[in-house]
Structure 1
Amino acid sequence: MIRRVRLYTVGVPMAAAFDHATRARHSAESLLVEVELNDVRGWGEGAPRGYVTGETLDGAAQAVRRCDPAALAERVDWRTFDSAVASIARLPLTELVDGPSAAAAVEIALLDAVCRHFGRPLTDVLRVLDPPDRVLREGPTSVSLVIHLGQDVASVLDALPPRAVAALRHVKIKVADPAGAVLRLTQARERLPEEASVSLDANGTWSAAEAERIADELASAAWVEEPLPPRSWTELARLRQATGLPIMLDESCTGPGDLRTAAASNAASHVNIRLSKCGGFLAAARLALRADALGLGCQLGVHVAEVGPLWAAGRALATAWGMWQTVEAGRADEWFPTPLTHPAFAVDRSLHRVERLAGPGTGIEPTGELLRHTRCLATWEPNGAWRRTT
């Protein structure tokens, strides 16, 4: 059924940098996998981030090349949409493809191709997980405003039209030093409606003593994301017990093992779910269901500068389920003025919401602008090994 698989790396300059406490990103770095069936092509993306999962772009590409598409294809029951999705859902992708970002690229490409072959949207794939009725939703989804470290909080919010401020439901603020975090939180709270929530993201740069010292001044924050170095389970649990500070895990939680440890140690109240760091569309959805069942709040996040398949798959999850405390959409329209996909990335900035994408699969196709910034590393065809592209 699989006629061809192509592996690409992507590097697209960003029109504006995005800064947080440990990194400044000036370009997109993604991995693309193209799966060609008899009649359609599906696209998947992974965003390797060393500071999140320890992966590199080259390492993730090598992980894809070490997998055997023929072995994957043999495990897929291609007869119907339901049988194909069920068999893909059973694949031990994290064992067959080493690394969550590489696995995400392969999985999303397979699902996109299957959906396009059967003329079904990616949201239909979620039925295989049998989610409880209470998490289902339809219609537009509210998204958060993210203010990065290089931006002044007061200036960003003061520049918004009154209608846009009134429509805000959540603002996420990148922070560095604890004193600056308190100031940035105060500036936001002074300008936002009471019903809008605010979170702070320290990207693992505080010590437990620093976090405890300012905890009282953070009482108006909905949660603090990754305040301590990743997987500081004992310190996180002590911080929560001593201060009652709501804590969201991001870099600390990339899969079920981390989630089990966090829940057992009472180290967190919330989890940030991102498709690439969690291993793909279904892997992220499963992790969200587990977190929800454990009583943890979930944010559906994005990696900075996702170029297409990742944000589109994330949007499918955002608009199909209503379990999210908040949803991040990204700012691809600002970072990449020339659209990388058709239809182009779009967010209603006046109401801070996104619509479900139409069409089969993820609902998007790469444009010539995106393909212009890709490098095809290797191609696989049946009855052969991966062939390096020159």
Structure 2
Amino acid sequence: MTRIVEVATARLIRPLHTPFVTALRRTDHVLSVAVRVTDADGTTGYGEAPQIWRVTGESMVGIEECVQGPLATALLGRAVDDEQAPLVHRWLAGAVAANTGARAATEVAVLDLLARRAGRTLAASVGGTADELGCDLTIAAQVDDPSAELLAPGFTTAKVKVGLDPADVQRVIRIQEQSGEGVRIRIDANQAWDVSTTVAAVDAWQAAGVALDLIEQPLPAHDLAGHAELRRRLSVPVMLDESVFSVHDLRRAIEAEAADLVNIKLAKCGGIYAALEIAREARKAELGVMVGSMMESELGLAAAAAVSAAVAPDQTHDLDAAWWSIDPSDLGTPYRDGRFVISPTPGLTRAVERISESLGPWRVATG
């Protein structure tokens, strides 16, 4: 048993080597808040909360104030150990509504601290059974350089963002042709399409021989009936992302028969234990699960990978976000031959080391 004595935040800002563009937004940087918790013995743990206005509604300023205020109050002075780890997300959810990214980062920081104290990886601490995971690579909805439509070496699954280019159908066919045999294509419209547009595009891709793996969130988040109609009309699996923040959202989607798979993100659902609950509920309903992330650094992705290793170690996950801010010549990258490699160091130690130079000054919560 240990006691939490300090909670602190620092801004985490890193440039991307390639602009990241979706139907919802464009960004050239990772814009996050790192959370650090410290116990009475001086052991620390870390988490990351991304600024995602168009998905979670959170900003860096809002995340900082949430962590510095109600979340710090909920944690400071608490005694925690492995048995109480599943309760942390309840303490944080009871302290503030919404603010899922802030809550996730704070919970991850506590779990990281406990993993370090035990000398375990975070993945092992939450039941992970893999030390590396299959990973797709996203191709932006718009590119400034045609070479940005080429898969990096080692990756065999492309996640193509669509919804901005009227020539999306031809663009996806071109990406498939230049990627070569054996490459699978995932489509993510980020809510930009309607039913007829989706059906027409999928029909055209299948006629052209595109190896479609799935289509993710083609319709607005609220349109469960439309997604259910797509499942009836298409042979390609339909994955929900923005429609499912919580286990309650998932249950509504299951009742509507609106999904074949669900994309679980820590910043969207509120943390690791919420993610594990969503995965269990999805499996009960015989839905597939994939773990993704927002635009985050290795710190956030290492936490997402821990969940991936626990809920679907043999799946190809959407863990490429940190790749966008890592120099391609960096030999220390966690990306190896199209896979995300989990560091064997305790907790998230290696991820924290790699992002340390991108951190601003730490601000300690006063409670």
Bin for the TM-score computed over the shorter chain: 0.7 to 0.9
Q: Distance in 1 between matches of 2:120 and 2:271?
A: 18
The reply to whether residue 330 of structure 1 matches residue 329 of structure 2 is: no
Could you tell me which runs of 5 or more consecutive residues in structure 2 were left unpaired when the two chains were aligned. none
Q: Counterpart in 2 of 1:13?
A: 15
Q: Counterpart in 2 of 1:130?
A: none
Structure 1, residues 242-290: CA drift from partner, whole Å, max 9, x if none? 3444221111111112111111101111211112112122222222222
**Conservation of the 8 A alpha-carbon contact between 2:7 and 2:364:** yes
Q: Sequence identity of aligned pairs in percent?
A: 27
Structure 1 segment 311-350 matched on structure 2, within 5 A: 311-322=301-312, 325-330=315-320, 332=322, 334-337=324-327, 344-348=332-336
**Conservation of the 8 A alpha-carbon contact between 1:173 and 1:184:** no
Q: Which amino acid aligns with 1:317?
A: V
Shift of 1:152: 8.4
Structure 1 runs of 4+ with >6 Å offset: none
Shift of 1:224: 1.3
Q: Which amino acid aligns with 1:360?
A: P
Structure 1 179/334 Cα, relative in aligned 2: closer, same or farther at 3 Å? closer
**Conservation of the 8 A alpha-carbon contact between 1:64 and 1:97:** no
Structure 1 segment 260-299 matched on structure 2, within 5 A: 260-299=251-290
How many residue pairs get matched?
359
Q: Distance in 1 between matches of 2:155 and 2:351?
A: 30
Shift of 1:100: 0.6
User: After the TM superposition, which of the residue ranges 64-73 and 355-364 deviates more from structure 2?
Assistant: 64-73
Q: Distance in 1 between matches of 2:147 and 2:123?
A: 38
Structure 1 338/32 Cα, relative in aligned 2: closer, same or farther at 3 Å? farther
User: After the TM superposition, which of the residue ranges 311-320 and 22-31 deviates more from structure 2?
Assistant: 311-320
SS where residue 12 of structure 1 aligns? strand
The reply to whether residue 106 of structure 1 matches residue 106 of structure 2 is: yes
Q: Distance in 2 between matches of 1:375 and 1:208?
A: 48
Equivalent residue for 1:251, pick from 242, 250, 260: 242
SS where residue 103 of structure 2 aligns? helix
Q: Counterpart in 2 of 1:132?
A: none
Structure 1 213/14 Cα, relative in aligned 2: closer, same or farther at 3 Å? closer
**Conservation of the 8 A alpha-carbon contact between 1:122 and 1:362:** yes
Structure 1 segment 1-390 matched on structure 2, within 5 A: 1-37=3-39, 38-67=41-70, 69=72, 71-72=74-75, 76-78=79-81, 82-88=82-88, 91-98=90-97, 99-127=99-127, 137-151=129-143, 155=147, 164=153, 168-177=155-164, 180-192=167-179, 195-219=182-206, 220-304=211-295, 306-322=296-312, 325-330=315-320, 332=322, 334-337=324-327, 344-348=332-336, 351-364=337-350, 366-367=352-353, 370-371=356-357, 373-376=359-362, 378-380=363-365, 385-386=366-367
Q: Distance in 2 between matches of 1:331 and 1:55?
A: 18
Shift of 1:25: 0.5
Shift of 1:112: 0.9
Q: Distance in 2 between matches of 1:152 and 1:187?
A: 16
SS where residue 263 of structure 2 aligns? strand
RMSD: 3.0
